[in-house]
Every structure is written in C-alpha cells, then in structure tokens.
Structure 1
Amino acid sequence: MKRILGLIAVILITTASYAQAGAKMELKSDTVDYGTTSKGDDNGIRTFEFTNTGDAPLIIKDVKSSCGCTVPSWTKDPVAPGKSGKIEVKYNMNPGPIRKTITVQSNAVNHPDGVVALKLKGEVVEKKESSVLDKKKAIPNQ
C-alpha cells in the first residue's frame, strides 16, 4: 500500500513539474465580423479583447496586418496576470469583401511560439444614394 501511494505521489509531482507556467493569452474571440456595411455608416474600428490567464506578465511584442489597409494598435505595457488588454484594428472600409489577418507575437505559452492569428471578415458595399425623384417614383398612383 505504501508503495502504491509513493508511486502516485511521484507521478503527481512529476506531472505538476511539466505544467506550463508563464503568460497565457485568452481571447474573447479571434474573429471580428463586420457584416455588410458601408464606409459612410461605419468608421472601421473594431477591438479584440484578451485576458492574461497565466502567472506571468503577458508582453505583446508585435502586431502586424496582412495589408496596409488595416492598421492595428495594442496595449504596449505588459498585461499582469488576471488583467485584460485590447488590440484595436482600423480597417479603411474600401468597398469589397473583407478577409484580413492580424498576426500577434507575444510571450504567451498557450499558443505555438506565442503567435496568434486574428481574423477580420465582412463586406463593405457602396452606400446607395437616394434622391427625391426615386422616392416619388416609388409611390404608386402618382
């Protein structure tokens, strides 16, 4: 019986020593959906929120966009364990489909090499201008 308890204790201690320690980035969502929108109705700014669920400060080293039409800004100070931060993204709202990737480099141990891919999707359409004549034509019997 003592041998079994001793073996269990050794296994538990060994397993605990291999547990990952360090900063961990937990995102509320890794995708932002703009839906269908137009440049005049939307400023193009969206926010990715995250929390450091680890036991060490989370440091975001760099944030890069897949193209120049998307400009990221992020929390520059280390995010303490249990605290939250954000990555703000501004898309220029050119008409057409939105399929962009934001690459985040950090010291998070729960992502391979600390790299996280964030995605933007949606569609920007031309804002349809309506005139007084169009409204008048739409009224029947006139």
Structure 2
Amino acid sequence: MKNLMMVTILFFVGIATYAQAKIKFDSDVVDYGNIEYGSDGVRTFTFTNTGDKPLIIKDVKSTCGCTVPKKPEGEIAPGKTGEIQVKYDTKRPGPIRKTVTVYSNADTPTVPLKIKGYINKKDDKSVLEQ
C-alpha cells in the first residue's frame, strides 16, 4: 500500500512539474539605429508563451532611469503573445546600450533584453544621412 501511495504521489508531482510556462521572444534586442534627438523612444519586445501553463510577467526592471519598461497585466495563456514596451529618454545624445530584465514564472525565470542605438545631438542631421 505504501509503495502504491508513493508511486501515485511521484506521478502527480511529475505531472505538476512538467506543466510549465515558457517565454520565447521574437528578438531579445531592439536596435533603435540612428535616431533624432527628442524623437519617439517607445519600442516593443514581442513574446509568446510556448508552454502549457499561463505565463505571468512578475516584473520588468531596467539598468537605469533613462529606460522605462512597461509589463503586460494579467496572465498570458499558452500559445498567446504579449508585449513589453520600453521607453528610452531620447533627450540623451550618444550611444544607447541598456538592458531590461524580465522576471516571470517561466521555465527560464529571468530573461535579459537589450536595447541599442545612437541618438544624434540636438541639431545634428549629418549622422542620419550616413
């Protein structure tokens, strides 16, 4: 009887651990390219829950205050897509090299996402023409 109970418990524990949320991003890098000073700094990372359990984005954090991420609210059902928006302060001329980290209940609980690019000086159009 104890053996049967142990096998039953292990079976249900195995099933419970097998069902997982999985997060797959279309791309883990957003390249702004060369953009004008003060232009729209909002970009989007798109992902899909490729698992068989609802995906919950617990938090999204950036490496500095110049990058503001916005996580989706609620669960992302298996097979469904979601978005994480990132807004970069484009009134900071020069190179963009930042990381945004996504925290979730997925089988890979933390995923780093990168943004890169270059913001021209306020009145510098020459870099855009290259």
Task: Check whether TM > 0.5.
Answer: yes
1:99 matched to 2:97: yes
Deviation at 1:39, TM superposition (A): 2.0
2:116 counterpart of 1:116 = no
Tell me the secondary structure at the aligned position of residue 59 of structure 1: strand
Q: Runs in 1 of length 4+ with deviation above 4 angstroms?
A: 17-20
Cα RMSD after superposing both structures: 1.8
User: Which residue does the alignment assign to 2:79?
Assistant: 82
Residue number in structure 1 paired with 2:54: 57
Q: Which runs of 5+ in 2 are unaligned?
A: 1-13, 126-130
Structure having the larger proportion of residues in strand: 2
Query: Which digits, 9 at most, give the CA deviation of each residue in 1:102-140, with x for residues without a partner?
Result: 01000111x2xx00000000110114368xxxxxxxxxx
Residues paired across the two proteins, number: 110
Separation of aligned partners in 2, 1:99 and 1:105: 20
Q: Select between 58-67 and 119-128 the one with higher mean Cα deviation.
A: 119-128
Q: TM-score, normalised by structure 1?
A: 0.72
> Residue 7 of structure 2 corresponds to which residue in structure 1?
none
The percentage of counterpart residues that share the same residue type is 56
Change (3 A) 1:23 1:96: same
Separation of aligned partners in 2, 1:51 and 1:85: 6
Output the CA distance in 2 between the equivalents of 1:129 and 1:25. Answer: 40
Q: TM-score, normalised by structure 2?
A: 0.79
For residue 20 of structure 1, report the CA deviation from its aligned partner: 4.3
User: Is the radius of gyration larger for structure 1 or structure 2?
Assistant: 1
Asked if the contact 2:93/2:122 (under 8 Å) is kept, the reply is: no
